[in-house]
Amino acid sequence: MQKKRIESKLLGESYVELTHDSGLKILVMEKPDYTGAFAMFGANYGSVDTCFRLQGAKEFTKVPEGIAHYLEHKLFESEDLDAFERFAKTGASANAFTSFDRTCYLFQCSDRFEENLEILLDFVKSPYFTAQTVQKEQGIIGQEIRMYQDAPDWQVLFNLLRALYHNNPVRIDIAGTIESIAQITAELLYDCYHTFYNHSNMVLAVAGGVTVEQVLRVADKVLKKEAPVQFEQIIPGEPKEVRQKLIEETLSVDLPKFALGFKQSHSTPVRTAKECVMFDIALDIIAGKVTPLYHELLSEGLINTSFSGEYFTGRGFAVPMFTGESADAFKVKEAILSKIKSLKENGVTDEEFDISRKRLYGLEIRAFNEVDDLANDLVECSFKNETLFDRIECYRTLTKQEVEAAIKDGFDEENCSLSLIR
């Protein structure tokens, strides 16, 4: 068993990374002062992974959109009690989610940690699909898809992605469509499970009042050794230009919602910690909550406190974006583009850079007090082959010139789209 401790002397924090005899990577951040624990078991597999080829296969396998999310739902079932019923008996709070590039199963508990961890590892590694149960789930997920089609916050985001991208599967709803999920079979679910739910493509992260020894006791009991599965994934190529500059939809909302995003070229499939920090600071300098622009828009009634900036990124996509509510999103867009133009022409002041860097650095450090954030970040960092402390170091070492370059290269007025929910 390979084992090492990764630490930050600056923060006085550390965690253990080990490769279990089963082939699974396990990350444990011990927090002796905490009474509870949070565990997350993740697969490096999400909604964008609709085309893959196993090593040795001649052809790529194309699977229906939404199958990763469908698989997440089905894993909670078994021939006996489903996983939620098992967790209910221990008092743990359990859940799961599928994103564009991850599927994660999790629980939080205040006691009986080892019993809960055993349930988590057992049900994720014990798939049970039949034609009858798969067909039954189509109606349930179909209702979920229709529900999200009426959810303004969800639709304003996905409409933006559909406006930005021509081919990238990030433009498809994570749950798929009514038509695509109708094509899902038990056989396809098993194919995807055995490809992506191999220990070599998964990670277990635990944070809180537990020890490495506790985690290993359960892992030794439940996990069996698995030979690594090698496969190739394809993300379709994208033209530089956006698909459309404006996309609108009418839904029931108190105030119109908007999302303004900038399409980026993709030289690498995954954004590094440095790139993410660089764009987080750039977004904060442009229209963060302490900037003059934010307060001008707020005082003029063009935005409210729901306004925010985000570097929305994952495997094969990256979009710096601003979202919020506004009676006149076009004026908000004009003001943001004007600020970006000014920063490109005049540069970022030392004061602007220092304020944003220090503010975000403080928020980053504060997150180390939340065990759920820690477990989630450990999983994300593992899949990107980074450590939990890389972002902290980037905030310390990043230069103003690098942020200026990000603003010049990453915020192209000709390649931005506006999504509106009226």
What is the CATH superfamily name and number for domain 2-233? Metalloenzyme, LuxS/M16 peptidase-like (3.30.830.10)
Helix extents (H) in 259-349: 273-287, 292-299, 329-346
Secondary structure (3-state) at 151? coil
72 is catalytic: yes
CATH code for the part of the protein at 246-421: 3.30.830.10
Query: Going residue by residue through the chain (422 aa), what tens digit of pLDDT does each one get?
Result: 889 999 999 899 999 999 999 999 999 999 999 989 999 999 999 999 999 999 889 899 999 999 999 999 999 988 777 899 999 999 999 999 999 999 999 999 999 999 999 999 999 999 999 999 898 889 899 999 999 999 999 999 999 999 999 999 999 999 999 999 999 999 999 999 999 999 999 999 999 999 999 999 999 999 999 999 999 988 888 899 999 999 999 999 999 999 999 998 765 567 899 999 999 999 999 999 999 999 999 999 999 999 999 999 998 899 999 999 999 999 999 999 999 999 999 999 999 999 999 999 999 999 898 888 999 999 999 999 999 999 999 999 999 999 999 999 999 999 999 999 99
Q: Give me the half-sphere count of Cα atoms (radius 13 Å) on the Cβ side of residue 200.
A: 8
d(CA 320, CA 303): 18
Q: Tell me the longest C-alpha to C-alpha distance in the chain.
A: 66
Q: Is the dihedral angle over the CA atoms 262, 263, 267, 270 positive or is it negative?
A: positive
Among 72, 251, 262, CA closest to 152: 251
Could you give the dihedral angle defined by the CA atoms of residues 250, 253, 256 and 260, in that order, rounded to the nearest 10 degrees? Answer: -80
Q: Is the dihedral angle over the CA atoms 210, 213, 215, 217 positive or is it negative?
A: negative
Residue type (1 letter), 351 = E
Among 358, 353, 360, 369, CA closest to 407: 353
Q: Tokens for 30?
A: 């011990």
pLDDT digits (tens, 9 = 90+) for 17-69: 999 999 999 999 999 999 899 999 999 999 999 999 998 898 999 999 999 99
For the chain, give every residue range classified as CATH 3.30.830.10: 2-233, 246-421
Single pTM value for the model? 0.94
Helix extents (H) in 55-185: 67-75, 83-90, 113-124, 131-149, 152-164, 178-181
Exposed e or buried b per residue across 365-401, where buried means at least 16 C-beta atoms within 10 angstroms of its C-beta: eeebeebeebbbbbbbbbbbebbbbbbbebbeebebe
* Set 72, 275, 352, 380: catalytic member: 72
Give Cβ neighbours of residue 56 (< 8 Å, ≥ 6 apart).
none
Secondary structure (3-state) at 231? strand
Centre a 10 Å sphere on the Cβ of residue 330 and count the other Cβ atoms it contains. 13
d(CA 277, CA 271): 10
pLDDT digits (tens, 9 = 90+) for 82-106: 899 999 999 999 999 999 999 999 9
Q: Which long-range contacts (CB under 8 A, 24 or more apart) does 141-145 make?
A: 141/66, 141/69, 141/70, 141/73, 141/175, 141/176, 141/181, 142/178, 142/181, 144/175, 145/66, 145/173, 145/175, 145/176, 145/177, 145/178, 145/181
3-state percent helix, strand, coil for the chain, nearest multiple of 5? 45, 20, 35
Among 94, 172, 178, CA closest to 144: 178
Give Cβ neighbours of residue 171 (< 8 Å, ≥ 6 apart).
158, 161, 162, 164, 165
